[in-house]
Structure 1
Amino acid sequence: MFELTFDLILILIIAGFLAGFVDAIAGGGGLITVPALMLVGIPPVQALATNKVQGIFGAATAAISYSRRGLVNIRSQWRSAVIAGVAGASGAVLVSYLPTDGLRLILPVILIGIALFFALKPGLNDMDRVQRVSTAVFAATLVPLVGFYDGLLGPGAGSFYMIGFVALAGYGVLKATAHTKLLNFASNLGGLLAFAIVAKPLWTIGLAMGVAQIAGAMLGARLAARIGARLIKPLLVITSTALALRLIWQMLG
């Protein structure tokens, strides 16, 4: 039986703050919070469900912070957000029925590819570039795919949204980061609604971590808006690489 103690709460609150900070800048906050939840003894599926509780606070805070700085118009994104939310719920509902082992095998390769893309591609800055697909096509293809994955597994979903906005929508790095947060919030919320039925998230822990997420996300969004690609790119490379290495370590035992 899981027992909540002051020491465990403190560990998880610190993890929530750090995750909110990292996630607001480059995504990958789950790299911190999911292992922390499991480290204190929470079963894996319940840890994923609890992670969704605290994750929505950080994503929502980051989305609002970027919106207030004029980097994203949340009202123009509501349709994409609804699609991401429905896809996230669908992924969470099917998590027990779909074979995810194959996806886990290729995830490290994809994440390392993302890290190399942002590390080596020249000219990646905060300036917009050529838009390769229309907004409607983007919302109908990449958004539901990443949203479904976010509900099904989750790690790296923010990075996948991010590279889509940069490579397909033609957004600069800072603008892409800002637009990622509302979709991340929506797919997290959709996943949480489904998990709440089947996985019994620990609401007290999730809410305590969520408060810390708010503080971390506010700080992270403020720094990202001020420094832009010079901060976002290296942190994105680090988090994607770290997540890939963690997944490889899990597969090896």
Structure 2
Amino acid sequence: MEFAGLTIEIALFLFTIAIIAGFLDTLAGGGGLLTLPALMMSGIPPLVALGTNKLQSCVGAGTASVMMLRNRRVRWRQVKELMPAAFIGSAIGTVIVQFVNTEALTFIIPVVISVIGIYFLVTPTVDADNKPAKVSTSGYRNFVVPLIGCYDGILGPGTGSFFTLAGRALRGQKFLEATAIAKTLNFSTNIASLIVFLFAGQVIWLVGITMMFGQLIGAWLGSHCLFKIPINYLRYLVVIMCFGMLAKYITT
């Protein structure tokens, strides 16, 4: 699909947002809180914005996943059963969203992003210790992961953070361990959703490829900083940028 309204200024704007989003998403999650409003602010229809967002976010999530596995922050045995579950959930969610009224998405997306931004703001500081698991391995794999994957297929922003929080709260993982595992699951959901959007013809290739390069740079930088920067600083930065983008989107 082509986008007649793409100018050099818009391309540079989206490229810059993708770098920031890829960096933040690797570290704290929430990159979609920036890229999705940015795409919609650029005049792209909601459903096409969702599809194009998946194209560019696959690179960021993929780069982060490779770095996590290569640096042994995540072991393949930890995610080999979770990734297919996330994939299936996301594919189902993406099929569902194809039948949603786009006018409803125009209203729903800013509301969901606002709620997630507020959640980021008020979530208390997390500690780094392991805690007892509250959900069994099979329950987490068969229900929790596909449910979050389905949300990613329908909307998407904050999915990486949801995976992180679920791993932390329900499986008792250390915060950074949960963050690293979340990258691989988010990559799986992005790929599944992208495949459906491609079949539906809801992707603008030129915009997506432009942002892919930005995501690649941001994710590479974030992967090298993940265990060095205090996570709370990044959470507040995500909140500030999230509401800044929303304010611009509302007034556009």
- TM-score computed with the length of structure 1 as normaliser: 0.84
The corresponding residue for 1:239 is 238
Specify which of 88, 91, 99 is matched with residue 90 of structure 2: 88
Mapped partners of 2:38, 2:131: distance in 1: 38
Of 7, 11, 14, which residue of structure 2 is paired with 1:12?
Answer: 14
Q: Which residue of 2 aligns with 1:26?
A: 28
User: What are the within-5 Å matches in structure 2 for residues 112-127 of structure 1?
Assistant: 112-113=118-119, 115-119=121-125, 124-127=126-129
Give the secondary-structure state (helix, strand or coil) at the position aligned to 1:141. helix
In structure 2, what residue type is equivalent to 1:60? G
Q: Secondary structure at the match of 1:171?
A: coil
CA drift of 1:58 comes to 0.3
CA contact (8 A) 1:46 1:200 kept: yes
TM-fit CA distance, 1:109: 4.8
Root-mean-square deviation (CA, aligned residues, Å) is: 2.9
Task: State how far apart, in whole Å, the 2-side matches of 1:252 and 1:177 are.
Answer: 34
How many correspondences in the alignment?
Answer: 246
Q: Secondary structure in 1 aligned to 2:94?
A: helix
Cα displacement (A) at 1:166: 0.8
- The unaligned stretches of length 5 or more in structure 1 are none
SS of 2:226's partner is helix
Question: Compared with structure 1, are the counterparts of its residues 177 and 193 closer, same or farther at alpha carbon in structure 2 (3 Å cutoff)?
Answer: same
CA distance in 2, matches of 1:142, 1:103: 23
**Residue 74 of structure 2: SS of its match in structure 1?**
coil
Deviation at 1:130, TM superposition (A): 1.9
8 Å contact from structure 2 (residues 93, 152) kept in 1: yes
8 A Cα contact 2:135 2:171, kept in partner: yes
Aligned to 1:73: 75
Q: Which residue of 2 aligns with 1:206?
A: 208
**Map 1:130-141 → 2, pairs under 5 A:** 130-141=132-143
**Distance in 1 separating the partners of 2:100 and 2:202:** 20
Q: Does 1:51 align with 2:50?
A: no
For residues 121-147 of structure 1, what are the alpha-carbon distances to aligned partners after superposition, in whole Å with 9 as ceiling and x for unaligned? xxx333322222222221112101100
| Alpha-carbon distance in structure 1 between the residues aligned to 2:246 and 2:6 | 28
Contact kept, 8 Å, 2:197 with 2:203, in 1: the verdict is yes
Q: 1:14 and 1:238, CA in 2 relative to 1: closer, same or farther beyond 3 A?
A: closer
Partner of 1:162: 164
Q: Assess if the C-alpha contact under 8 Å between 1:159 and 1:240 holds in 2.
A: no
The runs of 5 or more residues in structure 2 that have no matched partner are: none
Q: What amino acid is the match of 1:32?
A: L
Deviation per CA, 1:162-197: give whole Å up to 9, x if none. 110111111111111101001111111111111112
Letter in 2 for 1:130: P
CA distance in 2, matches of 1:237, 1:148: 27
Which residue is 2:188 aligned to? 186
Change (3 A) 1:248 1:133: farther
1:71 aligned counterpart, secondary structure: coil
Matches of 2:34 and 2:112 in 1, distance apart? Answer: 21
Distance 1:45 1:98 in 2: 9
